[in-house]
Amino acid sequence: MTNNKDFPFDFEFFNKTNLPDVEFYQTAYAQIIDAAEGHSDITGASVSLEELSSDETPHAYQARVVLYVRPDNLVATEVTPAALDSLQNALDAAIKQVRKKREQLSSH
């Protein structure tokens, strides 16, 4: 799913797993919208979820969240045995970076 017309900026979501993506998409959408609310620094987002599982690494999922934030973009990547955990951890890390950046900018 990419570029939802209801999203206030460009939002891309890529699910490269065999799992249905509705829950993953809704989780990412809701949390990024919440982080952007009341601010104009986030200009876009890209979220990808990928299964890394193989014979050597069973049950491994990687989530990558890229937030296009003025003046510099932020990226968070997480790998866990569960797809939703990877996504949630990457979202948490990216949003934490946004909040930290906002705090730093407001203290100047």
Q: Residue 6 pLDDT more than 70?
A: no
Element (H, E) at 95: helix 83-106
What is the predicted pLDDT for the residue at 2? Answer: 44
pLDDT tens digits for range 56-104? 767 899 999 999 998 889 999 999 999 999 999 999 999 999 999 999 8
**What is the pLDDT at residue 95?**
97
Query: Which domains does the chain show, CATH number per domain?
Result: 10-106 (3.30.160.100)
pTM of the model: 0.87
- Whether the ω angle into residue 71 lies within 30 degrees of 0, i.e. cis, is yes
Which of the pair, 38 or 1, is modelled with greater confidence? 38
